[in-house]
A and B are shown apart, each in its own frame.
Chain A
Amino acid sequence: MSDSSKAVRVGIEGVFYSLTHVPDLVRYGSKPSREIRAHPQLSEELKKRLRPFPEATAYAPHQVYIGNITPEELSGLPKPWYEKLIEGAGMQGRFGDLVDQDHFYSLLAGSDQFDLVTLEEKWFQDHGVKHTNGRAPRLRSLAEVQMLCDKGAFSLYSGDTLVGAFEAGHAEDTNLTEEVLLENLAAKVTAAHSLRALLKQLQMNPGDVDYVISCSEEAIGDRYNRGGGNLAKAIAEDVGCENASGSDTKAFCAGPMYAMVHGASLIQSGVCRNVAVVAGGSLAKLGMKFESHLKKGMPVLEDVLGSFAVILRAAESNEPCVRLDSAAFHPVRGGASPQAMAEFLAEKPLAKLGMKLTDVDRYAVELHNPEITLPSGSGDVPRTNYLTLAALAVMRGQIQKNQMEDFVRSRGMIGYAPTQGHIPSAIVYLGHAMDALRNGKISNAMFIAKGSLFLGRMTQLSDGCSFLVERNEN
């Protein structure tokens, strides 16, 4: 086992996860919008298979996401989960919540500083006003909202009812279209919601946050600085972290792992006392596999925006912490194969600490919900990753080949996160890991995330980052 006395640990003060249910924005996801443009009849088919909020709330993987059910309990629940809903499920979780679409539209309007969002006044008085936060929304009559949509603004619906419009930020700039700005503002408000809720849960003053790191998957900027970023500071402002600045950390789905390492390093170096790591949801990924879900007669399950917030600070005795000296990055020379990933992100960093693959009680990998991915032929992503780790343990003589399934069962877990890119990539397990560390069910957990750099057409490389989480025994 590792030499714990030399460990470099940074405390995890708390984590909050949120799922924002936006069924009427699924049509604006990248895949649905392209397919509907090519096959307009899909629009009606899609609408028929969208879930109401109570069904999204009672969906077992979502209850795992917000902390009311453990991943271990989920693996014992009957399938299909979208039919076997959890009776009495609530929208508040032990370390998360679900937000409905009305609330989201109000948050969107309240965070908009550029008159991008217009809400229909009667709908707002009936459904939105109770969620008001931030700036007063721009309200107009239904006829005026309709006119904005006729001129090209995105229509914001609640079921079949037009309730608002989302306009472009510039007449010509393709980086400030309604499509791009809705994606960016959705990331901002969902991340801000998670951070606000976390600070409230921790009874922490927003003014005590020194630095915010956003690892969301958007690209903010105009035509001269596409992806220029710093959504982090916009989130800090939205939440009232008036003493904080921030910056963005981007590494595709591995962004949250890098952000955690960067944040922990700011604490360890003494530059900051409290760092918030946050991410908002990815609107582009809504309905990514909707065609497969329609073909199988399933509800369209990719109808939520995922977000999270973590507060890092100096480690406290017996509390969960990031083991900073375990942090590992996938190097350029590493090669893109899953085996190379497992070697550089698990085997080598563990060996550096004098540990074996079998010394880790739980691995958090790409925890995509298989009920979403299997119908499209994308496989059970977590299981594939766990089998790779198990196979490496066999190759190194740490387990026998006939123990691979046991390795997967005892050190892995079933996937439960929506396909929101950065959200399922290990970080989604942090809340459950903190619970399991505190109640002694595990003594450590290794978080491993991968990033698909090749999607940006700048390199053929993949990427990844990992670290251990454990209790501070000092």
Chain B
Amino acid sequence: MLQGKKVIAIGERDGVPGPVIAECLGGAGLEVVFQVTECFV
């Protein structure tokens, strides 16, 4: 169902970083068009 879907991954410093989300989603067949880690404090 998720194969080939495009996704933007926004990670968080004190949570899950962007590259980790991207790796998981990429492995599940999604296309990560942009990933970033932000710090909300």
Contacts and interface: CB of A to CB of B under 8 A. Distances in A.
Q: Do A and B come from one complex?
A: yes
B15 interface: yes
B19 A381 contact: no
Interface string A361-377: 00000101000010010
A454 interface: yes
Contacts of B13: 450, 452, 454, 462
Chain B interface residue bracket vs A: 10 to 19
For A336, A368, A450, the residue with the greatest tally of chain B CB atoms inside 10 Å of its CB is A336
B26 interface: no
B37 A366 contact: no
A260 to B, nearest CB: 21
Nearest to A338: B14
B40 A384 contact: no
For A253, A373, A460, the residue with the greatest tally of chain B CB atoms inside 10 Å of its CB is A460
B20 A381 contact: no
A112 B13 CA distance: 37
A308 to B, nearest CB: 17
B33 interface: no
Interface residues of A, number: 22
Contacts of A110: none
B28 interface: no
Contact of B17 (A253, A337, A376, A384): A337
Interface string B26-41: 0000000000111111
A344 to B, nearest CB: 15
Contacts of B17: 336-337, 454, 460, 462
B40 A378 contact: yes
Contact of A460 (B16, B37, B38, B39): B37
Contact of A424 (B18, B37, B38, B41): B41
For B15, B19, B40, B41, the residue with the greatest tally of chain A CB atoms inside 10 Å of its CB is B41
B14 A336 contact: no
Given A336-B19, A460-B19, A379 B37 contact: no
- The A contact surface, by secondary structure, is mixed
A336 B41 CA distance: 17
Nearest to A415: B41
Contact of B37 (A253, A336, A385, A419): A336
Contacts of B40: 373, 376, 378-379
A452 B39 contact: yes
A351 interface: no
A366 B14 contact: yes
For B14, B15, B39, the residue with the greatest tally of chain A CB atoms inside 10 Å of its CB is B14
Contacts of A338: 14-15
Interface in A376-401: 376, 378-379, 381, 384-385
Nearest to B40: A378
Contact of A337 (B16, B38, B41): B16
A337 B37 contact: no
Given A376-B40, A460-B37, A462-B13, 6 more contacts: A253-B39, A337-B16, A373-B41, A381-B14, A384-B14, A454-B37
Interface of B: 13-20, 36-41
Interface of A: 253, 336-338, 366, 368, 373, 376, 378-379, 381, 384-385, 419, 421, 424, 450, 452, 454-455, 460, 462
16 contacts: A336-B17, A336-B37, A337-B16, A337-B20, A338-B15, A366-B41, A373-B40, A378-B41, A384-B14, A384-B15, A385-B14, A421-B41, A452-B39, A454-B13, A460-B19, A462-B17
